[in-house]
Structure 1
Amino acid sequence: MGHAEAARILNAPPQAVWDCLNDIEHTPEWVSGLAAAEVKTPGPYGAGSIYHDHNRLGPFPQETPWQVTAFEPVTRQVHESRSTVLPSTMTLTLDSVPGGTRVRFSVEYRFLPRLGPVSRLFERVAMDRLLGQVLKQNLAGLDAYLRNKAT
């Protein structure tokens, strides 16, 4: 199984970061490569909520369903996707620190699991590093988004 993570301290209070993470429709404004996102379940966003991401994997457009499987307000959420291309578990963790919030994105995944050993080799050789860079980009995008929102 592949694994990537990134962390960053954002100059924003935990509640502001949390609210931004829960505003799924606006995530394309700070998530790299995301064209659109929409919540599919009615009611308040939280454990059990389902949303879909619209992005590209190379030249191919794709729609990825996600479900929020854990939701601990202002500290942690877990999102799971059963995508056939990239099944993933993404954990978002927030910690209050002096002057802001430490945010950590952690993803466990399988890339094209039907390829067996080839999949695992590709995860180790390329995907872990590539996905880690994307997570860093997304945290930088979130930081910029929050700064722009505050002004």
Structure 2
Amino acid sequence: MRSHHVSRVISASPDAVYEYASDIDNLPRWAAGLAQAEVVREGDTLFVESPMGRVEVRFVEHNRLGVLDHDVTLPSGTVVTNPVRVLAHPEGAELVFTVRQIELDDAAFARDVAMVEADLERLDQQVAGQAGVRR
């Protein structure tokens, strides 16, 4: 199993990036690689329609450390843990997402990495736009 770290510097404060990205209702706006429709809540469990089918998502509790780790239970039942961090950066914030090659051939893994890169670009546009930064 391989891992690939995708990062994106965003011209907004780490707090602004974390608050936007941790808001479950914002997932479909920026995380198309995970959520292609509104999030469905069933108790404490979240379900989303993703490119992989309907998946269950569980995020770590809201925290002050910028940790956005989440487990995704695939339709196969496999649980994928996605480490995600929002870090302070001299130009604002840096979001680092670790993509792991689980149940993916090399071509599918490359597509997964590309989807995460596109997701982080959308997140950048959303958060920087809210902060009044022109792109």
Instruction: Give the TM bin, normalised by the shorter chain.
Output: 0.7 to 0.9
Q: CA RMSD in A?
A: 2.4
Does the C-alpha gap of structure 1 residues 71 and 91 become closer, same or farther in structure 2, counting only changes over 3 Å? farther
Q: Structure 1 residues 78, 23: closer, same or farther in 2, change over 3 A?
A: same
What is the total number of aligned residue pairs between the two structures?
Answer: 130
TM superposition shift of 1:53: 1.6
Residues 91 and 50 (structure 1), Cα distance of their counterparts in 2 relative to 1, 3 Å cut: farther
Per-residue deviation at 1:26? Answer: 1.7
Determine helix, strand or coil for the equivalent of 1:105.
strand
Higher strand share: 1
User: Which ranges in structure 1 are unaligned for 5 or more consecutive residues?
Assistant: 43-48, 112-118
Q: Please state if 1:139 is matched with 2:120.
A: yes
TM-score normalised over the length of structure 2:
0.80
Structure 1 partner of 2:59: 68
Instruction: Supply the AA of the counterpart residue of 2:28.
Output: P
> What pairs up with 1:14-33 in 2 under 5 angstroms?
14-32=14-32
Q: SS state of the match for residue 12, structure 1?
A: coil
2: CA distance, partners of 1:90 / 1:141: 18
TM-score, normalised to structure 1, is: 0.72
- Unpaired runs of at least 5, structure 2: none
Q: How far is 1:51 from its partner?
A: 1.8
